[in-house]
């Protein structure tokens, strides 16, 4: 028999735009219970279309906790606003303090406790970067406990569309084993601007992979975001010799 999915209410406590068409939404469980989750998992939001038919959307949890921290009620997600989208209309009109029905967490796009790799290659575009934001506390612990290195390669079209870039740069500056490479396909940052940095790259993330020299014996790669990017990086990493079990993928499809 199928396992019953537990639903719970989420209350919107804050909303801010982190890109021209992407909102960061902060919720809390409104039933007094914590949300025990593993960094990299996602929740589903349940609502109804205008005709009353049921709808749901999946969003990666964007907030992480230290591995030894107790779970709490916080849930943060990044939402791409799509013109004419039902979910977009829902979140844009939702007042602070309102509640919505959710379920989860789901998914296995996580760091595995038995990993023995020497380096993680984390590659993401668009809101596909949010699982990595949630992983930061866990990555800090792994860098400290077993000396693993981490490279985060983030793709965006322009500096204005770079999600959580300031947070990732600050994390890199505080953790020498973490390298952050923003990659812009259309527009590079202006010289002297806050996003200008020697690790900035121009082009698509898959074109930067050779520079990272993936090591079949020591690397594990994570791919999350646009399906075309995920497929291109997957094929490139295989060509470079990375074993398929060492390439973990999650595709993000934009839903209205």
pLDDT in tens, 30-64: 998 999 999 999 999 999 998 999 999 999 999 98
Question: Which ranges of the chain have pLDDT less than 50?
Answer: 1-3
Query: How do the domains of the chain map onto residue ranges?
Result: 6-106, 119-251
Which pLDDT score, from 0 to 100, does residue 69 have?
Answer: 83
230-240: per-residue pLDDT in tens?
999 999 999 99
**157/161 Cα distance (integer angstroms):** 7
CATH code for the part of the protein at 119-251: 3.40.50.80
CB 105 within 8 A of CB 59: no
Q: Which fold has domain 6-106?
A: Elongation Factor Tu (Ef-tu); domain 3 (2.40.30)
Q: From edge to edge, which strands make up the β-sheet containing 42-48?
A: 54-60, 42-48, 99-106, 7-19, 22-29, 74-80
Residue 43 β-bridge partners: 59
Dihedral sign of CA atoms 128, 69, 176, 172 in order = positive
- The phi and psi torsions of 220 (rounded to 5 degrees) equal -125, 130
What Å distances lie between residue 55 and 22, 61, 217, CA to CA?
20, 19, 43
Do the domains spanning 6-106 and 119-251 agree at the CATH topology level?
no
Residue 118 contacts by C-beta under 8 Å, 6 or more apart in sequence? Answer: 148, 149, 215, 218, 219
């Amino acid at each position: 028999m199928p396992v019953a999915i537990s639903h719970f209410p989420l209350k919107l406590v804050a909303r801010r735009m982190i890109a021209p068409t992407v909102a960061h939404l902060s919720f809390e469980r409104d039933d007094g219970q914590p949300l025990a989750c593993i960094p990299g998992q996602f929740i589903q939001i349940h609502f109804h279309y205008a005709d009353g038919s049921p709808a749901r959307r999946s969003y990666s949890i964007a907030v992480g906790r230290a591995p030894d921290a107790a779970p709490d009620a916080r849930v943060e997600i990044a939402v791409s606003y799509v013109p004419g989208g039902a979910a977009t209309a829902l979140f844009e009109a939702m007042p602070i303090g309102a509640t919505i029905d959710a379920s989860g967490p789901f998914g296995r796009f996580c760091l595995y406790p038995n990993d023995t790799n020497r380096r993680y290659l984390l590659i993401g575009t668009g809101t596909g970067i949010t699982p990595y934001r949630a992983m930061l506390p866990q990555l800090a612990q792994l860098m400290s406990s077993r000396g693993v290195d981490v490279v985060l390669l983030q793709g965006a079209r322009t500096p204005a569309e770079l999600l959580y870039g300031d947070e990732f740069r600050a994390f890199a500056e505080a953790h020498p084993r973490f390298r952050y490479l923003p990659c812009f396909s259309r527009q590079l940052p202006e010289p002297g601007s806050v996003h200008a940095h020697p690790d900035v790259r121009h082009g698509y993330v898959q074109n930067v992979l050779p520079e990272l020299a993936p090591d079949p014996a020591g690397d594990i790669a994570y791919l999350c975001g646009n399906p075309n990017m995920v497929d291109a990086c997957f094929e490139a990493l295989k060509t470079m010799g990375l074993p398929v079990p060492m390439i973990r993928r999650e595709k993000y499809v934009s839903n209205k």
